[in-house]
Every structure is written in structure tokens, then in C-alpha cells.
Structure 1
Amino acid sequence: MALSSSFKADLTCSVCLDLFEDPVLTRCEHTFCRRCLLEFWNQQRRNICPICRKICPSDNLPRNRALAGVIDSLRKEQDAQVCPRHEQKRVLFCRDDQELICCQCRDSQEHFSHKIIDMKEAMAEHRAEIENTLRSLQDRRTKCDGLKTKSEKYLTRLQEWARQTESQIKNSFRKLHVYLNDEESCLIQQVRQEERESSRKLQNMTEELYQELSALRNNIQEIERQMKDNVLNLKGLKDIQVRLARTLPTPVLIMHKVPFGKFSGPMEYRVWKRLRKLLDTVPAAVTLDPETAHPNLIISADRTSLRLADTHQAQDVCSKISLEPCVLASEGYSSGTHYWEVEVSGDRWALGVSSRSAVRNGRVSLTPQNGNWPLTFRNGTYECFYPLHSQPATGKPERIGVFLNLERGYLSFYDAADMSHIFTVPSKSSEQLYPCFVPPTSGKTMSLSHSL
């Protein structure tokens, strides 16, 4: 690489008159090789700038990193143009070995019989190839820059999503913790109150029984004395008989009134029943809209179940190009979060969300490109078309949970038996989205669940 005299002067140390080696910057903003500057100071016996003669502290010599980088790149380029074996400039091109060589290499045994041309001639011959390669590299760099930008963007979105999800989890469990702690404290207070009241009754009864025992001992002793002395006291005997006719207090009656069942039994289930009132997301009471149903579908009177009337007319559900017989729900959503559950059976069914414009005469194309986001099931495998992927079902699904989060723009599917996750897909739409149902091709029923 040929350097202009002015550019070379900028890269040359004024002490050694060569390219900078480990360039450092003085306080007066002049640059020298570190070794040259230290040797100059040692010769002068004082720390002065070789150019302006100003005093320079020896403990303040920062490395000129920008200049060092330029010189390193320049040296690498110059080294590539010098033959490492003969230390001569490479000015020739060996066509056989496709490499630059020096004049001494040309005369060596290694290249003696090879076709050698001048480097400028080789550059002219290969200019088109070099320019094409350069353009390819520039295009690849542009693509890499775009991918890097997207990667950084997605990384930021991922971090934001993780923080939002973490906050949502904490808020949800905080609410559950508060409720459970309050419920626990309330039940414990009720148990303690019941213990105090029942204990007081039992203590009063114990005192009565103690007094009764004392009276009985006295009566027994009195009768035994009278029998021994042949003394007859009929009035006293009548009083004793009246006392014996009284019913003794019994702890069984008190214990029978203690509400053991209130504080035992299926405690977790009872608490869960009450906890449902706090849940933001519970199965919605979704109903079917007969006006959107395909003529081959039979909708129940309460609009909560559907099935195919004629299975011979059913097409292959889960086909990406066919239109499947379907029905939409009466309820449409444009904001918020919504959850519903569907009881499924058989094979070759689909469910998810759809826009009204995606339904044509009671049929729908099972692709997001057509405004439909479905989960399909066939041959023991779940399938989702955005993006296209599939996974085997762990068992025969009986109830599927569908969660639509329009605030964050995604749709999730779960096996409602244990709430294990199946798929989550993006579901952003400018239209209202409606729950959509395609029943099994076997004619079995698909039903909407309205209770846990």
C-alpha cells in the first residue's frame, strides 16, 4: 500500500523517524513511541516534550489507541505484500498456485515451470471476480447488520417480556398468598373461638359433675349410716330419689355440637372453591353462534356442543389448503385476556380463534394468513401452522384450554387436565377474534365447558 508523504508523516515518530511503536500521548498532545520518549527523557535528564519542550509528567502517558489501531492495520497490510521467505515485495502472480510471489520466488525450483505474470496484469484479469466477491461480501455484511439489529431488537423484547411475565407471576402469587394467609388466619381464629366456647361449657359441666359427685358421696354415707343404726328417714329418702331422677349432664352432647366438619373434610377443595372468586381468568361461558355454523353441523339447543351431521361430507381436518366446516362463538374479543375450555373426543378436530371475515359460508381455512389461529389434532399429534410445527400428545386429550391475551398479542393452548402447555402462537389482528370450532370428522361431539 503506497502512502502519501503527508499521511506517512502523521504516522511517523519525530524521534526515530519510523512508524510509531506503542504510541503514547503527552499532556501537550504530541505523540511518540513510548520507548523513544523514555530514552529521550533519560538522555535529557528531564521530562520535556521533544517538540514543544513543555514539561510532561512521566506518570501520565496514555496509549494513543486510535493511532495504534491504524498502524497495526497498516503493518498487517504491508506484511501481506512482503514475501516472508525472501523479505522482498510481492509483485508477481503465479497462475498455477494462484498466489502472489516475489522475484526471487519466481526463480526458485518451486515456481520455475509455472506460468508467472505481473501483479497488475493479474489484477486486471481477476477484477470482475474480485468485484463480484466484494459485492457479495458487502451484501452479506448488510444482511449481517440487519440480522444483528433484529437480534438486538428481539433480545430487548425478550428481556421486556421476561420482566413483564416475572412481574405478572409475582402479582398473581402475591394475591394468592394474601388470600390464603387471610383464609388460614380466619379459620384458625374460628377454631380457637370454638375451642374457647366449648372449653367453657365443658368446664362448667365438669364443675357440676364435681358437685354432683360430692352430693352422691354424702347421700351414700347417710343411707349406709341409717341402715346401720336402723333409723328410717322417709323424707330424706324421697329427696334423694328426686335427685336421682334428674338427668346427668354429658360431655357427648357438647362434643356433638363442635363443628368438626367445618374445619376438617376436604379443606383444600373448599378453599379452592372460594379461591375461584378471586381468579381473573376462569373458563368463560362461551356459546355457539348458529348463524356462523356450516349447514352440516348440528348445534345443541343450549348452544354449547356441536357435531358433524354427515361425516361422509367431512374433509380432512388439518389440511392447510382445504376449507373446514366450522362455527364461531357468539362472543368476540378485541381487548383483554380470555380463557375457555373445550371438551374434545375422537380424531381430526381443530379449535382456536378466528375473525369473522375468515369464515366463508360456514367454512374456514386453518391458517393464520387467512385470519385463523388453530390448534389441530390428528393421529395422536397436535399441529399448529404459525409457524408450522407439531408434537405428539402425551395421552388422549379430553379437554383443551384456550387462553387469548390480546394485550400482549398471543394465543396459548393447554391440556386442561393438568394445564400442561401445548403451543403458544402470535395472534395479532385488526379485527375482533372469536372462538372457532371444527368438530371431529368421526361425528363425535365437541362441547364447551362452563365449569371447573
Structure 2
Amino acid sequence: MASAGAVPVWLEEDDLGCCICHELLRDPTTLLCGHSFCRACLERAWRAGAPRACPVCREPAPRAPLRRNLLLQLLADKLSAAAGLGPASARRPASPPPVTAQKSVTEVVQELTALVEKLVDITKNVQRQGPLLGSRPDKETSSSGQEVSLASPTRVTARTSEEELREILCALEEIQEKLRGQLSWKEAPKEQTQAELPEAVSSPSCPQPGSSWPAPKRASQFAQWAITPTFDLGSLSCSLEVSKDCRTVTVSHCQQNYPWSPQRFSASQVFCSQAFSSGRQYWEVDTQYCNDWAVGVASGAMARNRMLGRTVDSWCVEWKGIGRLSVWTMARETVLGSDRPGVVGVWLDLEEGKLAFYSVASQESLMYECEVSACSPLHPAFWLFGLRRGNSLIIKQARV
């Protein structure tokens, strides 16, 4: 080979992608742990309140200024140019990254509760002082010693204002009770029931407790094949934590005590312990408390540094908080639309070699069906990207 000859290198966009915005690296910066991100995405995540640590492995990052990784920038530019997109460094991001500086629902409810309490106090004070303002006696003694009636518009106006204040006070007190109910519901312990919201925070794109998706009203057509798998602690990313019953997985910024294992995912992903190589299975996942997620199946041999759906041995349906629902099969994306499913039903029929995703409300509505092969056992697989603290996925009991 000639010394000046080019060395062929096969790269895919996922190899040079940012796990925060899921786009090709732009102005890439590499942390001491070795993980790389778009510089703007990383700075935005830290400004949003995330600890100054790697979003993937949680290793603390020094306070030194972030520096551009010139080699990664060169590779990203070459890959972008080969795809006809122009240099990655010159392209504007397609969309803002999922990590944004937003207040949690709990924080907003607390602030509203405090404001309403102040309004109640102010209204009560005005109500108490109202009769004293602009009022005067109904009768006055004249110079001749006779009482003269002085019924005036001022008295009528004061009486009207008092009635309005009473109505305002009643309305404020009603709002106050509702807010207190919301706040106490949000602060309920995680262990109460799966139907309740975990101690998680959700952005405006997630429904609040009073406006969740309709509850199922009839038995599932897949009832005889319904299972309730549990999360596998051995594959759990260090940025996630699992409930005691192993059916709720939550994004956590706290250091986890799980021992390191080569079977752990480097990104915020997890498998279920159950693996299937034959038969028919159906399970449901409650997604309404997570802003950005992917739910699907994957081979147990899936590389632990790859993302769900971006490999030939994993399949998933994915929701991005920007309002896009898509499926990933054979490392290719198919956009389904912008309607978000509150509960996802997964139907795995290895007798027919089929995988189907359903949106579950009063009944199952098919979103997508594809062929699937089980060269090695397949696990239920999950990805909570965006790394917003408190985002949760719940494996729920299917209707029977």
C-alpha cells in the first residue's frame, strides 16, 4: 500500500452522534471519562441544573473550560459531507436538545399554592377593612335636632364590593384546596401503587394527574399471553434506578450502589430479566411520566455502548419530547406522526416472527408491525434519554 494512500473507514452517523440531542456531533467536546457530546448540549444540560458530570457515566467533570475535539470534528464533517449535509460544524442543530431548563410540576404547584395563599390573605384583609372605607352613618342629626336619612350610593357601592369580595374569596379558597390536593398527591410515596405518579417530575409535555390518558375499560385481546416482566439490575445503566418491585425505572442523578459489570449499558438503558426465544408474549408500559423514551426488544448480545433501535438486533418505538413518534427497525427510522401514546403495548409473536407496537387506551390500536428474528433470546428493552431527573417508565399489569 502506498504511504500516501487513504485508509478506508466505515462510519455511521450513530458512531458520531450526541446522546443528548441525538444528532451528529457539532463542536464536539470530550470529557475525561472518554464520552463526547456537542459542546452546546453539554453546557445547556449543566445550566439546566444537572450536576457537572458526564450525562452517561456520571463521572464528575472538572471546572476547566471545555475544549473542542478536533479529530471528532473532522470525522463528523467528513461524514456529514459524504451524506450531502455540509460540514457538521456549520450546520445549525435540527432541534433544541431534550434537556431544557424547565420547572417541575411540583415546583409550579408549590409556587401557585403560595401565591393563592397570599391572595386569600389580602382578600380577607380587604374584606375586613371594606365596611370602614367610604361608609358613613345611615342617619345624621340636623341642626334642629331632627334625624335626617342619608342613604347614599356610597353605601350601596360598599355593599356590592363586599359581595364581590366574598365571591372572590370563595373562588380563591376553592383553588387553594385543589392546589393542596395536587401537592399532597405529588408528594405521595413511590411505594403506594403503580397507578400513582412516582416521586418524579414531569415537564408540560407530560399529562398532570387529573388529565391522564383514559383508563382501560375492557379486557385486552392479548390477555391470555399477558406477562409482567421485571427490570434486570445487571444491565441497568448507572444513570438509572429501579423500584423495589423492579417494575419502575427512573432517571436518577444520585450515585448508584450497583456494582459495575460489563453487562451494564453506558447510556440510560436497561433490559428486563426475562428472555424469549419462542412462544407469544404481550406486555404494557406506562410512558406518561417520561418525556423522551424508547420501548422495544433487543437481543441479549446487543452491544452495551449502542442505542436501542440503532442496531440490527434491536427494535423499538420511540417518542421524542419535541413531538415525534417513530419506530426503529434494522437501524432505520420510520416516522409515525406526532400523537403520543400514554401506554404502549408490545406484542412479540416468535411463532410467526412478528413484533407489533400498540397504543393502549380503551382498546389496543396498532401503531406498527414488523418482522423480527430470534437468533438469540430477546429481552424487553427500554431507553430513557434526555436525562431529566425523575423521568420514569412503568411496566404495568395488562388487562385480563
TM range (shorter): 0.3 to 0.5
Tell me the TM-score normalized by structure 1: 0.34
- Which one has more relative contact order, counting CA pairs under 8 Å at least 6 apart? 2
